[in-house]
Amino acid sequence: MTVRLLPISAAATSGIPCWVDLTTRQSERTQAFYQELFGWTFEAGGTIGVLDGEPTCGVLEIPEDARELPAHWFPYFRVNSFDHLAADPPTDGDVIWGPETYGQRLATVAAVVDPHGAGFGLWESMGLSGFAGGRRHAPAWFELSTRHPADIAKFYCQLFDCFPDSISAAGSAAYRVFARPDVLLAGVVASDTEPYWRVYFQVDDLSSSLIHAKALGATQLAERVDLPIGGTALLRDPVGALFGLIEPFREELGPMDTEATSMGATDDNAGYPTTLSL
């Protein structure tokens, strides 16, 4: 059995991360940054980021009456039907808005807060399945930063039909993940701050991408961290949104790379400072 980091068609299966929104201020400045860094163009009045002709992300302006909100990336996870969720809702989480139509009837979406306070979206495709994964400068990895990684697993495993596990590479501590037998859905790390989700974008060379991002005005938040899935770094864009870069070590993890959470130590913060906030 092999375990994939993310399927090429990231939106094909319920529970898979399938879309991301950037909620920001100074949209033109933000778009210029990501266009230079990742080669994205922007369509639909600047609200859809496009990579190689494929929709990759949404861009939303923070309303004037909510300017105190931080700029942030917001992930969505695929659901097959909101009717099914209504019939069998996950325990303890709250829907804060939706379901409602996204864009020009691209999807039906809702925003959810998990029992510990991390926000994320649910996406039922109408005209857009999601981003195309498995390629440079597309979303490639998702990570939940939360105060109690072990305690939150039940909520996500019920919602996304997955199980808590850990993975490790030679010489590294185990890294918590939500997984299925054939795919890793997301990572989970411990934090002392309010819970939130992180989005990582794939790069070919992490070192050169960090140099490029910082030259464009990004701020690197910590030294490179090597996870079992790849080399990573966290940054803030020029407007303040936290995002990650990941240089995958390999496309697939073989069976010798996976371990049950009960086997060996788990590095709950994956090597990052526990004080990073949204």
Residue 102 is predicted with a pLDDT of 92
Q: Give, in order, the Cα–Cα distances in Å from 250 to each of 137, 143, 230.
A: 16, 18, 7
CB 174 within 8 A of CB 267: yes
In terms of domains, do 144 and 117 share one?
Answer: no
Asked whether residue 115 is assigned to any structural domain, the reply reads: yes
Q: Check pLDDT > 70 for residue 1.
A: no
Asked whether residue 278 is assigned to any structural domain, the reply reads: no
Residue 267 is predicted with a pLDDT of 53
CB 274 within 8 A of CB 191: yes
| Mean pLDDT calculated for residue range 113-119 | 95
Closest to 161 in 3D by CA, of 98, 94, 79: 79
In terms of domains, do 204 and 237 share one?
Answer: yes
In terms of domains, do 143 and 254 share one?
Answer: yes
In terms of domains, do 145 and 73 share one?
Answer: no
* Alpha-helical segments (H) within the chain: 27-38, 82-87, 149-160, 206-215
Q: Give, in order, the Cα–Cα distances in Å from 148 to each of 41, 89, 123.
A: 38, 22, 26
Q: How confident is the model at residue 3 (pLDDT cuts 50, 70, 90)?
A: very low
Task: Determine the angle formed by the axes of helices 206-215 and 27-38, rounding to 10 degrees.
Answer: 150
Phi, psi of 7 (to 5 degrees): -65, 155
Cα(182)–Cα(249) distance, integer angstroms: 18
CATH number of the domain within which 229 lies: 3.10.180.10
Cα(173)–Cα(267) distance, integer angstroms: 6
Q: Check pLDDT > 70 for residue 10.
A: no
Q: How confident is the model at residue 123 (pLDDT cuts 50, 70, 90)?
A: very high
Q: How confident is the model at residue 269 (pLDDT cuts 50, 70, 90)?
A: low
End-of-domain residue from the set 95, 125, 155? 125
Average pLDDT of the chain, as a whole number: 86
Q: How confident is the model at residue 153 (pLDDT cuts 50, 70, 90)?
A: very high
Q: Give, in order, the Cα–Cα distances in Å from 56 to each of 48, 130, 139, 157, 250.
A: 7, 7, 8, 26, 22
What 3 state SS string does 66-81 have? HCCCCCEEEEEEECCC
CB 199 within 8 A of CB 243: yes
Domain that holds residue 199: 139-259
Give the total number of structural domains in the chain: 2
β-bridge mates for residue 124, sequence order? 108
Check residues 165 and 98 and name the one with the higher pLDDT. 165
Q: Check pLDDT > 60 for residue 100.
A: yes
| Mean pLDDT calculated for residue range 40-67 | 91
